């Protein structure tokens, strides 16, 4: 959707909701090909086969009569079905035709499919004979080398040059791992044959954690998220948000945060969130007085939380579950408070900004009614309830999204005439899922080689010791080092790739210090989210900029400012794992710490935006405005910081210190603001 068209949208109840996936396809047309004719049907059939294979594997339906499929064979079948389409959907260069598929992309397609099938038919014998450690036949090595090459090209096309240049050297690293100049990275060296065999035949590299997460759980949740959006859930959640939050000051921006949070809980997709909620909220924000780049930044930050908000979350969360060898439900539960703090922080940022700039809410007459909205989409509540019960009570994360999708489609066909599915809807559903599967497989399979390289050389343990030696066993210093590394990696990598890097390189060192494993991985995950709003990647910011009609880079920098609260929050739940619902009495302690963190965040946001709730506009403090803002940020951060554990102060001491900073700061600010207001009112009196 063009910025011009978006800007002409009227009040939310008068906006005609459009298919988010149609918007997604329009937005991405400059980057990807829209397959047509036989190729499109091939993608639809391959996607249907992928979903059926996943259902067969998860429910043990035995589609293959008289044959029990190994997990590794299943993984290679998925790769054979999805990875070849990377070269058809993602052009090799910016100048490549979007209407015509060149011969070399077809060649890539054929080579990828053929090597996948060869390796799929070989992997059972390889497991029996131990070929992953060497001794594989020549044809297997050749197929493996082809797979290695096409994976790197797929990684470049889906993740960009920055991701390829980050991953490729590490995949080659085992070939020269014993070189002296590598220092702490020095490890066990392998020949080309050994490295190839390990990469493509072992369960630790290409077939490792990322692809396992995709095959076991990601497919089901992607199917559920797409079905939810294509049955009108986007319109339902957005109208609920408008009805509940629209009248508040800066109401359009608060609707954006609330709607994107609700959508994110179900879709787990940042871009889908931006293009679904953003097409409705960004024009209304601009109409309410928000400048275009700031409106785009708010939507980008709100949508980025989609990968953190349970119950669905994003693909990275499933990779975390595989890394920690825990159920996905545990990861989803651990993300509840971090996600809540993320959206609370954004809400407070927007509230302070709206108050400082005197931005009003939307008139009630222009908003949809809560009851009318619920009557139109009541059945979504039952679907979400089923998903949560299946996840948390029955702990069947691989089955839950399929049951929820089945219930959703039945209820939709029975109770909704507008969104009832037809054969063309099913085709579009499969095509949209297929494009998502293809992109994810390209990134996850390529990043799997990264894990395999470090597993092959055995360098992770020694690297963890070196990091501890550099940090002097100081957990806070190591956390800061991790955050800085994540920020640098996030400038060029996607959230999932950034997480995998740090989970391999830094997490073991933090674990050796005795920090909670779940808290460490959530810390890394949280910092990895920065890539979505940080230039030059900033996929959320750039998508929102397209809708807002604002400069992409300016929107990216604005997003970093709006989302700056996420720089603070990750440290809180590492210092006390109760914030990720871990440890003794986690629920009671977690809620208490969440309250303190939210209270501290209120002052952090006030300092960042220059308007403190219950105090007023800090511009009226004159030359003391910036000193007061800095003190509010420092005091808020201290109050929000959990005490005890690796902190030298207890909770009581650290909270008291924070209040000792905030109380006089707030009192001085209040006095100065009221005095200025009184002087101004006296000057107006004749």
- Give the bridge partners for 612, in sequence order: 616
Helix (H) or strand (E) holding 673: helix 651-684
**What is the arithmetic mean of pLDDT over 324-343?**
92
pLDDT score for 647: 80
Q: In sequence order, which residues have a C-beta less than 8 Å from that of residue 177 and are 6 or more positions away? A: 185, 186, 187, 188, 189, 190, 456, 457, 459
- Per the model's pLDDT, the better-predicted residue between 595 and 469 turns out to be 595
State the burial class of residue 680 (Cβ atoms within 10 Å of its Cβ: 0-12, 13-18, 19+): exposed
Torsion of CA 181, 183, 189, 193, to 10 degrees: -60
**What is the arithmetic mean of pLDDT over 160-177?**
87
pLDDT score for 306: 82
C-alpha torsion sign, points 447, 451, 454, 460? positive
pLDDT score for 407: 94
Given a cut of 90, whether residue 441 has pLDDT beyond it is yes
pLDDT score for 618: 93
Domain ranges of the chain: 1-20+230-419+459-563, 31-202, 583-686
- Give the bridge partners for 106, in sequence order: none
**What is the arithmetic mean of pLDDT over 17-46?**
66
Distance in angstroms (rounded) separating the CA atoms of residues 481 and 487: 10
Kindly report, residue by residue over 451-502, the tens digit of the pLDDT. 888 888 877 777 777 778 777 778 888 888 888 887 777 766 778 888 888 8
**Mean pLDDT highest for which of 11-20, 500-509, 595-604?**
595-604
pLDDT score for 81: 96
Two tokens, residue 656: 């008291």
**What is the arithmetic mean of pLDDT over 1-9?**
36
Closest CA to 130 of 212, 198, 205: 198
The answer to whether 629 touches 651, Cβ cutoff 8 Å, is no
Given a cut of 70, whether residue 26 has pLDDT beyond it is no
Strand bridging mode 611-612 / 616-617:
antiparallel
Two tokens, residue 658: 């924070």
pLDDT score for 397: 85
The answer to whether 667 touches 627, Cβ cutoff 8 Å, is no
Q: Which residues of 577-597 are buried (b: 16+ CB within 10 A; e: fewer)?
A: bbbbbbbeebeebbeebbebb
pLDDT score for 212: 92
**What is the arithmetic mean of pLDDT over 44-59?**
94
State the burial class of residue 432 (Cβ atoms within 10 Å of its Cβ: 0-12, 13-18, 19+): buried
* Count of other CB atoms within 10 angstroms of residue 555: 30
Two tokens, residue 670: 């209040």
**pLDDT class of 31 with cuts at 50, 70, 90:** low
- Give the bridge partners for 611, in sequence order: 617
**pLDDT class of 43 with cuts at 50, 70, 90:** very high
Q: How many CA atoms lie within 13 A of 167 on its CB side?
A: 35
Mean pLDDT of the chain: 86
**What is the arithmetic mean of pLDDT over 571-588?**
85
Given a cut of 90, whether residue 605 has pLDDT beyond it is yes
Closest CA to 171 of 186, 149, 156, 154: 149
Closest CA to 274 of 522, 538, 496, 489: 538
Kindly report, residue by residue over 411-422, the tens digit of the pLDDT. 999 888 888 899
User: Measuring CA to CA, how many Å separate 488 from each of 369, 501, 561?
Assistant: 45, 12, 17
pLDDT score for 432: 92
Kindly report, residue by residue over 536-555, the tens digit of the pLDDT. 778 889 889 989 999 988 99
Distance in angstroms (rounded) separating the CA atoms of residues 323 and 334: 15
Given a cut of 50, whether residue 650 has pLDDT beyond it is yes
Q: Where are the alpha helices (DSSP H) in 458-551?
A: 460-471, 475-490, 495-505, 507-512, 517-528, 539-548
Determine phi and psi for 16, rounding to 5 degrees. Answer: -85, 115
The answer to whether 252 touches 393, Cβ cutoff 8 Å, is no
- CA geometry: angle at 516 spanning 512 and 517, to 5°? 80
Percent of the chain residues topping a pLDDT of 90:
43
pLDDT score for 686: 57
Distance in angstroms (rounded) separating the CA atoms of residues 265 and 308: 8
Percent of the chain residues topping a pLDDT of 70:
94
Closest CA to 314 of 532, 573, 565, 59: 532
Distance of CA 286 to the CA centre of its chain: 26
Distance of CA 126 to the CA centre of its chain: 36
Closest CA to 236 of 329, 372, 354: 372
* Count of other CB atoms within 10 angstroms of residue 480: 13
Given a cut of 90, whether residue 18 has pLDDT beyond it is no
Kindly report, residue by residue over 260-318, the tens digit of the pLDDT. 888 888 777 788 888 888 888 899 899 889 999 999 999 999 999 888 888 888 888 89
**What is the arithmetic mean of pLDDT over 382-400?**
88
Given a cut of 50, whether residue 2 has pLDDT beyond it is no
Q: Where are the alpha helices (DSSP H) in 563-650?
A: 569-575, 586-609, 625-640
pLDDT score for 16: 38
**Mean pLDDT highest for which of 93-102, 220-229, 627-636?**
627-636
Q: In sequence order, which residues have a C-beta less than 8 Å from that of residue 640 and are 6 or more positions away? A: 568, 572, 596, 597, 598, 599, 600, 601, 604, 658
Count, in order, helices (H) and strands (E) of the chain.
33, 2
Helix (H) or strand (E) holding 201: helix 192-201
**What is the arithmetic mean of pLDDT over 240-269?**
87
Q: Where are the alpha helices (DSSP H) in 289-378?
A: 292-304, 315-324, 328-334, 336-356, 370-377
Q: In sequence order, which residues have a C-beta less than 8 Å from that of residue 446 and are 6 or more positions away? A: 151, 152, 154, 155, 158, 159, 163, 164, 167
What's the chain's length in residues?
686
The answer to whether 494 touches 500, Cβ cutoff 8 Å, is no
Two tokens, residue 390: 């299946």
Distance in angstroms (rounded) separating the CA atoms of residues 69 and 61: 11
Given a cut of 60, whether residue 504 has pLDDT beyond it is yes
**pLDDT class of 604 with cuts at 50, 70, 90:** very high
DSSP assignment of 1-47? --HHHHHT--SGGGSPP--HHHHHHHHTTTTS----HHHHHHHHHHH
Given a cut of 80, whether residue 254 has pLDDT beyond it is yes
pLDDT score for 462: 74
Closest CA to 105 of 31, 27, 39: 39
Distance in angstroms (rounded) separating the CA atoms of residues 87 and 521: 33
pLDDT score for 502: 86
Q: Which residue has the tokens 């080092």?
A: 481
Given a cut of 90, whether residue 47 has pLDDT beyond it is yes
Kindly report, residue by residue over 113-131, the tens digit of the pLDDT. 999 999 999 999 998 888 8
The answer to whether 543 touches 275, Cβ cutoff 8 Å, is yes
Q: Which residues of 525-535 are buried (b: 16+ CB within 10 A; e: fewer)?
A: bbbbbbbbbbb
Closest CA to 116 of 82, 166, 77: 77
Radius of gyration for the alpha carbons in the chain, expressed in angstroms and rounded: 26
């Amino acid at each position: 959707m063009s910025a011009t068209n978006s800007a002409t949208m009227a009040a939310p109840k008068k906006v005609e909701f459009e298919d988010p996936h149609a918007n997604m396809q329009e937005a991405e047309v400059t980057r990807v090909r829209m397959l047509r004719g036989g190729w499109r049907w091939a993608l639809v059939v391959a996607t249907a086969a992928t979903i059926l294979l996943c259902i067969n594997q998860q429910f043990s339906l035995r589609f293959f009569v008289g044959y029990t499929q190994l997990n590794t064979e299943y993984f290679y079948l998925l790769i054979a079905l999805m990875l070849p389409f990377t070269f058809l959907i993602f052009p090799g260069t910016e100048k490549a035709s979007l209407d015509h598929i060149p011969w070399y992309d077809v060649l890539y397609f054929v080579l990828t499919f053929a090597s996948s099938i060869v390796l799929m038919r070989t992997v059972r014998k390889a497991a029996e004979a131990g070929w992953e450690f060497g001794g594989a036949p020549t044809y297997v090595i050749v197929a493996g080398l082809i797979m290695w090459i096409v994976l790197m090209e797929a990684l470049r096309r889906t993740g960009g040059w920055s991701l390829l240049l980050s991953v490729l050297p590490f995949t080659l690293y085992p070939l020269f791992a014993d070189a002296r100049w590598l220092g702490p990275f020095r490890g066990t060296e392998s020949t080309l044959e050994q490295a190839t065999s390990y990469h493509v035949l072992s369960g630790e590299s290409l077939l490792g954690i990322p692809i396992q997460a995709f095959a076991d759980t990601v497919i089901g949740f992607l199917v559920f998220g797409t079905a939810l959006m294509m049955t009108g859930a986007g319109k339902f959640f957005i109208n609920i948000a408008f009805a509940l939050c629209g009248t508040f000051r800066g109401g359009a921006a608060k609707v954006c945060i609330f709607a994107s949070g609700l959508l994110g809980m179900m879709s787990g997709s940042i871009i889908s969130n931006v293009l679904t909620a953003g097409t409705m909220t960004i024009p209304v924000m601009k109409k309410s007085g928000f400048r275009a780049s700031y409106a785009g930044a708010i939507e980008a930050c709100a949508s980025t939380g989609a990968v953190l908000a349970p119950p669905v979350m994003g693909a990275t969360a499933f990779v975390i579950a595989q890394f920690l060898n825990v159920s996905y439900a545990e990861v989803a539960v651990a993300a509840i408070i971090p996600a809540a703090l993320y959206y609370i922080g954004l809400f407070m940022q927007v509230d302070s900004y709206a108050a400082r700039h005197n931005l009003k809410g939307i008139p009630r007459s222009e908003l949809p009614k809560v009851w009318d909205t619920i009557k139109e989409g009541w059945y979504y509540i039952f679907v979400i309830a089923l998903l949560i019960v299946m996840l948390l009570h029955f702990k069947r994360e691989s089955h839950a999204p399929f049951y929820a999708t089945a219930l959703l489609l039945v209820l939709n066909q029975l109770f909704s005439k507008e969104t009832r599915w037809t054969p063309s809807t099913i085709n579009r559903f499969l095509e949209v899922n297929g494009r998502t599967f293809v992109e994810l497989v390209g990134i996850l399979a390529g990043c799997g080689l990264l894990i395999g390289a470090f597993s092959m050389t055995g360098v992770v343990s020694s690297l963890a010791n070196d990091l501890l030696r550099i940090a002097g066993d100081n957990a806070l210093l190591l956390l800061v080092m991790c955050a800085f590394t994540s920020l640098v990696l996030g400038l060029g990598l996607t959230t999932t790739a950034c997480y995998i890097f740090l989970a391999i390189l830094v997490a073991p060192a933090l674990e050796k210090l005795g920090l909670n494993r779940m808290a460490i991985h959530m810390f890394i995950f949280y910092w990895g989210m920065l890539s979505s709003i940080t230039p030059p990647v900033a996929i959320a910011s750039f998508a929102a900029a397209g809708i807002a009609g604002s400069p992409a880079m300016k929107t990216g920098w604005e997003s970093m400012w709006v989302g700056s609260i996420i720089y603070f929050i990750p440290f809180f739940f590492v210092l006390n794992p109760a914030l990720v619902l871990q440890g003794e009495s986690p629920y009671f302690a977690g809620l208490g710490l969440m309250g303190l963190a939210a209270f501290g965040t209120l002052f952090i946001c006030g300092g960042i935006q220059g308007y403190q709730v219950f105090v007023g506009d800090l511009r009226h403090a004159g030359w003391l405005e910036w000193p007061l803002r800095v003190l509010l940020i420092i005091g808020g951060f201290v109050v929000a910081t959990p005490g005890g554990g690796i902190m030298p102060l207890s909770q009581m001491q650290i909270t008291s210190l924070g209040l000792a900073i905030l109380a006089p700061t707030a009192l001085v600010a209040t006095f100065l603001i009221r005095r200025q207001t009184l002087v101004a009112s006296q000057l107006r009196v004749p």
